[in-house]
Amino acid sequence: MHNNEVWVFIEQRNGKPADVSFELLSKGRKLADSMKGALKAVVIGHDVKSIASQTFKYGANEALLIDHPDLKLFRTMPYSRIMNELIKKHVPRIVLFGATVYGRDLAPRIASNTRSGLTADCTDLKISDVKYLGKEYPQLLLQIRPAFGGNIVATIITPDVPVQMATVREGVMEMHPCEKPHKEKITEIPYNPIDIDGLLEIIEQQREESKVNLKSAPIIVAGGYGLGSKENFKLLHDLAHAIGGEVAGSRAAVDAGFVSPERQVGQTGVTVRPKLYIAVGISGAIQHRAGMQEAKKIIAINTDPDAPIFDICHYGIVGDAAQVIPMFIETYKHKLK
Amino acid sequence: MFKSIVLVKQVPDTANISGKVMKDDGTVNRAMLPAIFNYEDRVALEFALQVKQKYGGKVIAITMGPPRAADILRECLYMGADQAYAISDRKFAGADTLATSYVLSEAIKKIGGYDFIFAGRQAIDGDTAQVGPQTAEKLNVPQITYAEEIIDIKDGKIKIRKKIDGGFEIVRCKIPCLITVLKGAAEPRPFQAKRIMAYKGAKTLMELEKMTEENSLLYIDKLLHEYEERNLFIPTLTADDLDVESERCGIKGSPTKVHKVESVVLAGGNQEMVPPTKDGIGSLIDRLLEDRIF
């Protein structure tokens, strides 16, 4: 039978763990509990023992640590080879990855090698007994994600393979430290470089700490394709400035170049849970809603009274942003006086 | 001189889905969806064509898909691809990314002798970005995903600028390798009028077979010969042509299964409409102040 272990690949960038990895540990803890299995963190890097230690705070039973100078920076070949070997040896039931650039580079490579099922950008994960084509499968991982332009929500299962894999975007799962962490158990695993690991070398790496932090913004003013132009997006900046919020956009707005990609809210962007989310000119496709529907209050402003966003908002304003937003700013300033 | 194989895909235009495409049971009626050339794959083809322009060589486009995917292979020829292959068989239908990468990798082995495999980062129908890396793993070659720019190719290595979260990396990778390309990396060249004239009549095996079914005066062997002579035959690789295990192809070879599909039902009912007037917005702001949102 299966060992019911849940593994989380812990992503680190320059020795700093990615938030999404701890978010996945928190979710992984719940999945492991419902299968009565262990949660294990896989930490690969150099001088990253402290990251391995941190995983216990988020529910890990054990951390597998592969620490070597050659592994300081993420590179597909050695990282995937290490994961492939570990997975083939221990056959965990579930392996989770952040749907980051590195995670999306690594996970498919491993799924291919181990012939596992892999579902990208899940918006929810659950354990459930499933009857599929007349056969009973106990405790399968339900991998839930919007599909087909957001017209449907699909539940994907991988019933006939030992290892079930999924990637999840940052912010989708909530990170919460355990009240009673397990005792630290770090298992160091040696790494022996081979030729193929060195086929790719990193000559230069530049990274800027993102100044945008949508996840922690209490107020978000988001615009969609309906705003029509980058110029109209200025209205959102004015509003965000007036009420102390951050500006975000839907995928369509990002694709149209109205707003930068790190400000994208939705299934393939960031998931946010602000106190107030103002959606302007956003129709409300499910991929977008997946990233904002847990906001405490949602105001929708749209010229189209039939836009689906009105079905999930708390307050709806049918009107043109060019008139409504300046009115909002003026009234707000007046009230605060 | 470099030989590049470009992986291209015909995708439903998910950005332009109309209500009619959804059946009453909430499933998608694929036949109703307009089919388009996945944009990032066109960018990948542009990358390959640029490598050919600068260093010489050959560009081969391949797609796995149903017979109608031949449309995008012709478009590859219009853009400048030297050759195109259709990979098509009923046995390949229903493939998830794992089964797709298996068949693609076997087709690539069959074509052989490549220096680069280019592909779009992801296709818009699933946005998974999995087929590129999964194919690279099966071919046991290194990969560079999220490529933004080819800096140079020398001494058997390609130097590329690629996106990472929050920045970029410059990497140098030994050839052969697989490269997935981001949308903004290059502007795909338009179709060339001369090439449209030359290749608009190009046909895959399935298309020729269809012609013989519709016209009893035509014979497949003769037709095939004629199209080959005129350089208008798009070679087609079927399961029999490839050294594939059928349990690893199509729906059989796909570990991921769709267990349930729900059309999206909006909860609704709790919303309050606010008139777009000063008074309306004023009372909304009062409510938000009361609720300590501001």
Q: What is the DSSP string of B99-141?
A: HHHHHHHHHHHHH---SEEEEES--TTT----HHHHHHHHHT-
A256 assigned to some structural domain:
yes
Residue B99: list chain A partners with CB under 8 A. none
- In whole angstroms, what is the distance from residue A103 CA to residue A109 CA? 10
Looking at the structure, do residues A43 and A170 belong to the same domain, yes or no?
Answer: yes
Q: Give me the domain span that covers residue A279.
A: 214-336
- Residue A16: which CATH number? 3.40.50.620
Q: Which helix (H) or strand (E) holds A317?
A: strand A315-318
Looking at the structure, do residues A78 and A176 belong to the same domain, yes or no?
Answer: yes
Residue B143: list chain A partners with CB under 8 A. 76, 105, 109
Q: Which helix (H) or strand (E) holds A81?
A: helix A76-90
- CB burial of B52-73 (b: ≥16 within 10 Å; e: otherwise) equals beeeebbbbbbbbbeeebbebb
In angstroms, what separates the C-alpha of A143 from chain B's closest C-alpha? 9
DSSP B200: T
Looking at the structure, do residues A105 and A235 belong to the same domain, yes or no?
Answer: no
Among A315, A313, A261, A308, smallest CA distance to A292 is for A313
- Residue A253: which CATH number? 3.40.50.1220
Looking at the structure, do residues A20 and A158 belong to the same domain, yes or no?
Answer: yes
Beta-carbon contacts of residue B152 (< 8 Å; ≥ 6 apart): B158, B159
A291 assigned to some structural domain:
yes
In angstroms, what separates the C-alpha of A111 from chain B's closest C-alpha? 7
Looking at the structure, do residues A106 and A151 belong to the same domain, yes or no?
Answer: yes
In total, the C-beta contacts within 8 angstroms joining chain A to chain B are: 244
Looking at the structure, do residues A19 and A93 belong to the same domain, yes or no?
Answer: yes
Residue B36 forms beta bridges with which residues? B11
Residue A210: list chain B partners with CB under 8 A. 166
ipTM: 0.91
Task: Please count the structural domains in chain A.
Answer: 2
What's the mean per-residue pLDDT of chain B? Answer: 93
Looking at the structure, do residues A28 and A73 belong to the same domain, yes or no?
Answer: yes
A260 assigned to some structural domain:
yes
Of A105, A108, A150, the CB nearest to B97: A108
Looking at the structure, do residues A239 and A161 belong to the same domain, yes or no?
Answer: no
Query: Choosing among A14, A114, A135, A200, which should be mutated to test the B contact, i.e. which has the most B CBs within 10 A?
Result: A200
Residue A310: list chain B partners with CB under 8 A. 271, 273
Task: Going residue by residue through chain A, which has 337 residues, state the pLDDT in tens, using 9 for 90 and above.
Answer: 789 999 999 999 989 999 999 999 999 999 999 999 999 999 999 999 999 999 999 999 999 999 999 999 999 999 999 999 999 999 999 999 999 999 999 999 999 999 999 999 999 999 999 999 999 999 999 999 988 767 678 999 999 999 999 999 999 999 999 999 999 999 999 999 999 999 999 999 999 877 788 988 999 999 999 999 998 999 999 999 999 999 999 999 999 999 998 899 998 889 999 999 999 999 998 889 989 999 999 999 999 999 999 999 999 999 999 999 999 999 999 988 7
Looking at the structure, do residues A270 and A124 belong to the same domain, yes or no?
Answer: no
Domains in chain B, please, with CATH? 2-248 (3.40.50.620)
A205 assigned to some structural domain:
no
Q: Which amino acid is residue A219, in one-letter code?
A: I
A204 assigned to some structural domain:
no
Whether residues A317 and B267 touch (CB distance < 8 A) is answered with no
Of B22, B169, B280, the CB nearest to A205: B169
